[in-house]
Amino acid sequence: MDFQISDIVTVVKEDSFLRNEQGEVIGTEDKDTETEIIVFFGEEVSIIDYVTTDGKKIFYFGPDELRKEIDWNPEVKANRTFGHSMWHTVRYDKSPLGPDDECDIKGCPDRPSKRGMINIWGTVYELNLCDEHHEHYNGKCMDDIPTYEQEQRLVHQLGAS
């Protein structure tokens, strides 16, 4: 498999203490007969004893020890978006975003183009969002998922003042 810089990968090596952890490819290095893949692991991976001198968690793997992913798993995305201590549960849809899906902001007439995360009192919801709602709500901590009507009332009230 061909790995590129910024690919998201999962460690699949059986005897690795990093098995099932996700990281980001930051480079490759040719070694004798094989290319080694250089992978960076973020703060969500706790590996204190293996931090490099510049504070980065970088490891080398063979191509058969990694699996390329399309996206970060929901727990990693929640950690990267909200931090470790700001959430306790992640709710997400395992199926891919489809052409018949609707924006999860109730009443929104637009089709979703992305998935975004909203944190409601520690429960992180991965939602199907149109471009506009993704821009406004992705990565936000809120009391509830807003409806399109509530949003329009707020826009009207702010515009009237």
Mean pLDDT of 68-91: 88
What pLDDT is recorded for position 161? 42
Mean pLDDT of 85-104: 88
Q: Which residue has the higher pLDDT, 153 or 80?
A: 80
pLDDT of 134 above 60: yes
pLDDT of 81 above 50: yes
Mean pLDDT of 49-62: 73
What pLDDT is recorded for position 147? 76
Q: Where are the beta strands (DSSP E) in the chain?
A: 8-11, 22-31, 34-41, 57-61, 66-69, 89-91, 114-120, 123-129, 140-142
* Confidence class for position 90, pLDDT limits 50, 70, 90: very high
Note the pTM of the prediction, 2 decimals.
0.69
- Helix spans in the chain (H): 74-82, 131-137, 148-160
What pLDDT is recorded for position 117? 93
